[in-house]
Amino acid sequence: MSGNPEDNADILRQKLWRLKSRVASGYRDFLVNLYKSETNLRFNWGSPNQNRGGFVELPLSSIKKALEVINRTEDETVREYEDEYRIRKKKKSQ
């Protein structure tokens, strides 16, 4: 991921569109629980291979931003389905 939060939001949005709503819902639930902890998430992992293993930190602000992106993407998906439904319904009535 890049250092630009907007680039990261676009990447997340694209992945969510491709993976569909069930995955987004599960990811949102996971992030909501992390956000409730009110702390940064830190992973530190090791490996017998010295070239592997590492550390990563996900700040609380990034968790919040990801939740905002997911909620916005889900809203857009719902509107898209509603638009498709209206179009199909209109075509049937013609």
Model-wide pTM > 0.85: no
Q: Report domain extents, the chain.
A: 5-93
Work out the average pLDDT over 3-15.
71
Q: Is residue 4 within a helix (H) or strand (E), and if so which, with residue range?
A: none
Q: What is the pLDDT of residue 5?
A: 52
Phi, psi dihedrals of residue 41, rounded to the nearest 5°:
-100, 130
**Which span out of 7-16, 50-59, 78-87 was modeled with the highest average pLDDT?**
50-59
**Which span out of 10-14, 23-27, 36-40, 77-81 was modeled with the highest average pLDDT?**
36-40
Residues in Cβ contact with 46 at an 8 Å cutoff, skipping those fewer than 6 apart: 53
- Cα 22 versus chain centre, distance: 11
